[in-house]
Every structure is written in C-alpha cells, then in structure tokens.
C-alpha cells in the first residue's frame, strides 16, 4: 500500500478531531460555574463519554462491514460537528447533556473506525508507530481546548457573545474541514474475505485467547490513565500537604510526558520492535507504581513528580501497540476487533470505581495498588506480543 500525503494528512486531521472529546473536562467546569450545579450534576457530563463507548463500539465494528471504514469515520465526524454546533445556540443543562452525549457517541464511532482505516494507508510494520503519531496529534487538540476556553472567557468578544463557548464553533469549523478533506481523499479499503456480520460473531472473537488478552490490556491501560489523572493530585495533597490548586500540576505533568511519549514513540517504534518497547513501557509503569507504594511515608513532591512522569511516558504507547497487535492478529476481522478494543475503554469507569473502594480502606496507597495490578498484567502481557 502506498501512503499519499493527502491521505496521511486527512487521517491525521481526523485524529485531531478525535481529541475534541477531551474538551468535556474544562467545559464541564465552566458549565458547573455558569449554572451553579452540584458536583454530582457536573460529573454526569464527563461520565457520558465512557458510557457511549460501552454502547456504540461493537455496533460500529459491525457497521463498518456494511458501509466501509472511511464512510464510518465521516459519520463520526458529522456527529462530532453536530455536538459542537448545538452549544452555540444555548448552554442550559439539558442542552449541554445532549451535546456531550453526541460528542461521546461521535468519539466512540471515530475511535472504532479511524484506527483500522489507518491500516489502509500504511504498511503493517509501520502501523504501531503511525497510530502512536495519531495519538500525539490527538493530544494537541486535548491540550488546546482549555487554553481556547480560557481565552474566550477572558477576551472581549462582543460580536460573538459566546465567552468560553467560543471553543465550540472553532472546533466545529475544524471538524467540518476534516470531513471535507477526508471526503474528497481517495482511500482504497482492503476487502475482507471473512466477515462477521452480526453482534454474536463479533463477541465470539473474545473467545480467542489473544483477542481477550488485548481487550483486558486496553482496560488496564485506560484504567491507569484515568486513575493517575484522578489520584495524582490526591497523593500530593495527602503526602505533602499541597492545596488542590498546587496539586493540579501533577495531572498536567502526566499529560506532558504522555505527549512526549507519543511523539518519541512514533519514531522509536520504527527502529525498535513493539515487543521490546512495550516491555520497557510496562516496566516503567510498574516501577513507578512500586515507587509510589514504597515511598508512601516520604514527604517529597519531587519523588511523586518523577513517578508520575514515568507513568505518563510509559503509558503513552501501550494503547497503540496493543491495538495494532490485535488488528494484525485478526486481519480478516479488523472492524470487529476494533469495536471490541474500543469497548475496552470502559475500563476508565471500572478502575476508578475499584480505586475508590481501595482508597476508602487504605488511603491513596490503595488506589496505587489497584493500578499496580494493571501494571503487572501489562508487564506479563509483553510475553504474548509478537516480535
């Protein structure tokens, strides 16, 4: 397969659009402030994202068999654009719930269809590095969202009258451009000789040991990702006595090193085997978790920062490697496998729940131990990865 510059650019712009889902974090804070919502009311908004991954991932895998990967990605961008246009005309609580629901649905469809579409523009041995670079592009959109919202909230924009909501039309325009560019780009999709045409055939793939192991690996990756974001500030507050504002830097530090990891990983994976790099990455996460557990009584924010940085860098390439391994293992069922892997993102709901119970029992070290279990699984999973 030959990768054209236009095809690569259109797919990367779609990855950028995929990152729009992360605006839900900063947006929910502004909505809570504007509408004087309680924490429980505000938390419903970001939780909708993970819910739709559970519902729409597998159906999207089946849908791709009917209409193709490119058309499914175009559908997802269209739903995303609609979700971004709605808040321009109002910001009531029901309106924002509808907007975030559509944003979650669009992202679930996009993550399921965009990743396998990449297999039609790159060679198999370059798949992991390309997916990793796509995650780096996605991270750029995630980074920009808070700054655009803050700019809109503080700048004088009388002609717009949108304040922080100026974020929505800006991203909506980008989404429309992404849809147009991809729509007019020719991408030949590889025919699938053996299609699983229904839900039963799709879920039966979990009966294959390697696919099931990959699914659990995705759950551990996302669980560690979400778990670190929520627990890192609490660790600093508990051990060092930081205020919430001071401890919030820990989350930014995690994203900084995860972005660095995605960027560097796209090059490293072209020179190092996925098995070796995955093992190094998983070991970094495990070392950091053990370090956080053993230094529970040490009042040093520097140590905590070091361990969080290790987790961020180590966890940056886990998803891409597992995803590519799953797709390459089942070349004739890539659409269905993609749906199953994206459904594994529901681990972002399961892990925090378990961590919450563990924290109530043991403090933040309990949450660390839950994530450490995920890190142990990923380390053991290295043995199953092909060279």
Q: Is the pLDDT of residue 102 over 70?
A: yes
Q: Is the pLDDT of residue 2 over 50?
A: no
Q: Residue 195 has what pLDDT?
A: 52
Determine whether 94 is exposed, middle or buried from the number of CB atoms within 10 Å of its CB (0-12, 13-18, 19+).
exposed
Question: Bigger pLDDT: 310 or 237?
Answer: 310
What is the DSSP code (8-state) at residue 317? T
Q: Is the pLDDT of residue 240 over 90?
A: no
Mean pLDDT of 288-295: 93
Contact 335, 69 (CB under 8 A): yes
How many C-beta atoms lie closer than 10 Å to residue 207's C-beta?
A: 8
Which of 224, 233, 234 lies closest to 251 in space, CA to CA?
A: 233
Average pLDDT taken over every residue of the chain? 85
Whole-number Å distance between alpha carbons of 286 and 113: 31
How far are the Cα atoms of 51, 134, 186, 223, 267 from residue 13, in angstroms, in the given order? 25, 9, 15, 27, 19
Whole-number Å distance between alpha carbons of 363 and 346: 24
Q: Is the pLDDT of residue 160 over 90?
A: no
Q: How far apart are the first and last CA of the chain?
A: 22
Q: Residue 340 has what pLDDT?
A: 87
Res. 73 pLDDT band, cuts 50 70 90 = very high
**What percentage of residues in the chain have a pLDDT greater than 90?**
34
Per-residue pLDDT tens for 275-284?
A: 999 999 999 9
Q: Residue 245 has what pLDDT?
A: 63
Question: Bigger pLDDT: 249 or 57?
Answer: 57
How many C-beta atoms lie closer than 10 Å to residue 46's C-beta?
A: 18
Rg over alpha carbons for the chain, rounded to the nearest Å, is 20
Encoded tokens for 225: 């990702």
Q: Is the pLDDT of residue 335 over 50?
A: yes
Res. 79 pLDDT band, cuts 50 70 90 = very high
Mean pLDDT of 18-46: 77
Q: Residue 141 has what pLDDT?
A: 86
How far are the Cα atoms of 79, 89, 107, 167, 177 from residue 172, in angstroms, in the given order? 10, 13, 14, 9, 9
The residues, any chain, with a CB within 8 Å of residue 156's CB and separated by 6 or more, are none
Q: Residue 194 has what pLDDT?
A: 52
Q: Is the pLDDT of residue 159 over 60?
A: no
Q: Is the pLDDT of residue 193 over 60?
A: no
90: region left, alpha or beta (phi > 0 left; psi from -120 to 50 alpha): left
Q: Is the pLDDT of residue 52 over 80?
A: yes
Q: Residue 226 has what pLDDT?
A: 78
User: pTM score > 0.85 for this model?
Assistant: no
Q: Residue 196 has what pLDDT?
A: 47
């Amino acid at each position: 397969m030959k990768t054209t510059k236009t095809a690569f650019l259109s797919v990367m712009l779609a990855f950028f659009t995929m990152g729009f889902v992360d605006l839900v974090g900063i947006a929910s804070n502004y909505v809570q402030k504007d509408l004087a919502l309680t924490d429980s009311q505000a938390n419903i908004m970001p939780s909708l994202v993970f819910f739709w991954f559970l519902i729409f991932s597998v159906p999207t895998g089946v849908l791709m068999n009917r209409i193709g990967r490119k058309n499914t990605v175009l559908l997802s961008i269209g739903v995303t654009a609609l979700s971004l246009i709605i808040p321009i005309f109002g910001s009531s609580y029901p309106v924002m719930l509808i907007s975030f629901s559509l944003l979650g649905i669009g992202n679930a469809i996009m993550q399921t269809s965009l990743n396998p579409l990449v297999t039609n523009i790159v060679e198999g041995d370059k798949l992991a590095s390309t997916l990793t670079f796509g995650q780096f592009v996605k991270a750029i959109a995630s980074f920009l969202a808070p700054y655009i919202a803050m700019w809109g909230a503080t700048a004088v924009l009388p002609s717009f009258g949108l304040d922080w909501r100026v974020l929505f039309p800006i991203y909506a325009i980008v989404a429309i451009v992404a849809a147009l560019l991809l729509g007019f780009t020719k991408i030949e999709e590889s025919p699938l000789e053996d299609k699983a045409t229904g839900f039963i055939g799709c879920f039966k793939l979990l009966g294959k040991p390697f696919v099931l192991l990959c699914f659990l690996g995705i759950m551990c990756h996302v669980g560690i990702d979400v778990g670190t974001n929520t627990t890192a500030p609490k660790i600093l507050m508990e051990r060092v006595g930081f205020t919430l504002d001071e401890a919030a830097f820990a989350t930014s530090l995690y994203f900084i090193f995860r972005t660095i990891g995605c960027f560097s990983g796209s090059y490293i994976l072209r020179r190092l085997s996925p098995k070796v790099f995955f093992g190094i990455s998983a070991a970094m996460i495990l070392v950091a978790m053990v370090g956080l557990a053993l230094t529970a009584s040490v009042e040093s924010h520097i140590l905590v920062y070091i361990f969080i940085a290790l987790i961020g860098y180590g966890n940056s390439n886990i998803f891409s490697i597992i995803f590519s391994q799953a797709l390459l293992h089942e070349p004739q069922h890539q659409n269905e496998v993609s749906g199953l892997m994206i459904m594994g993102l529901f681990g972002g709901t399961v892990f925090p729940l378990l961590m919450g119970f563990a924290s109530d029992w043991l403090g933040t070290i309990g949450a660390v131990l839950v994530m450490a279990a995920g890190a142990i699984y990923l380390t053991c999973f290295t043995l199953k990865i092909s060279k």
